[in-house]
């Protein structure tokens, strides 16, 4: 506590409280990454052959794939 101020809630937390706060921040970060991964894999359309996003495939002017 010597390096922080003596009045704010963050500096006056116990050691265990600070560890729990950092752990909760890490868990929130991992949950955000997990949700983004699920949205990408579950909602966006993928090629059945190579599993890349369909929007990344080159197409001809009539809409068919150029592969």
Instruction: Please write the tens of the pLDDT for every residue from 11-50.
Output: 788 888 888 888 888 898 999 999 998 888 888 888 888 8
Q: ∠ CA 37-32-44 to the nearest 5 degrees?
A: 30
Quickly state the pLDDT bin for 1 (edges 50, 70, 90). Answer: very low
Token pair recorded at residue 46:
């993928």
Whole-model pTM above 0.75? no
Structural domain total, the chain: 1
- Per-residue confidence (pLDDT) for residue 35, from 0 to 100: 92
Residue 55 — left, alpha, or beta (φ > 0 → left; ψ -120 to 50 → alpha)? alpha
* Spatial distance between the Cα atoms of 57 and 51, rounded to a whole number of angstroms: 11
Mean pLDDT, to the nearest integer, of 47-59? 83
Is 35 inside a domain boundary? yes
* Owning domain of residue 51: 15-56
Is 28 inside a domain boundary? yes
Is 30 inside a domain boundary? yes
């Amino acid at each position: 506590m010597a390096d922080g101020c003596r009045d704010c809630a963050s500096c006056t937390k116990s050691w265990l409280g600070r560890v729990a706060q950092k752990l909760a921040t890490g868990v929130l970060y991992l949950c955000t990454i997990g949700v983004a991964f699920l949205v990408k894999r579950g909602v966006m359309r993928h090629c059945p052959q190579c599993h890349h996003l369909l929007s990344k495939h080159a197409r001809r002017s009539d809409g068919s794939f150029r592969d």
